[in-house]
Amino acid sequence: MLARFAFSPVNSISQLYSSCESMGEWCSVVADGNRFLFTKPNGSQGIANRLSIQGYTGFYMGLSGFIVGLPNIPEMGETQCVVTCYDLACRNCYDDYYVARRLELREGGYAYCGRCKRTYDLNNYGQANTGKPLFRYRVYYGNNTLNINNP
């Protein structure tokens, strides 16, 4: 999947900032016309006008957008948790039927697909209760900037 997204300053959107700084916190990122919407599982939403982002040159939002957060456990072999990014589309619906169905974020670090009824554990590599894990993108978070990409 093609993904390219950069956002700064991260601390200007509380939903994104808390997801990048607090373990076990997640938010979705979607493009909606000329805006980016940053939504937490509880429904709180931050909005950024993409035309006002200085130096912004373009974006590719993967299949359906992104899920960004800081897992509550480090990856195998690591000692620290790092900001992680998954595609907002249900991987199994896409692989099986080419349907880019957006997932619903749920409290506790889960994403749910209303179509196939799978639940993905965001704190455990995006693993599904059955089937394939979520698509994952490279992400860099530092100096108040979030960069997501996948060639």
pLDDT per position in the chain (151 positions), as tens? 789 999 999 999 999 999 999 999 999 999 988 899 999 999 999 999 876 554 455 688 999 999 999 999 988 888 999 999 999 999 999 999 999 999 999 999 999 999 999 999 999 999 999 999 999 999 999 999 999 998 6
CA dist 21 and 36 (Å) reads 20
CA dist 54 and 112 (Å) reads 34
* pTM assigned to the model: 0.93
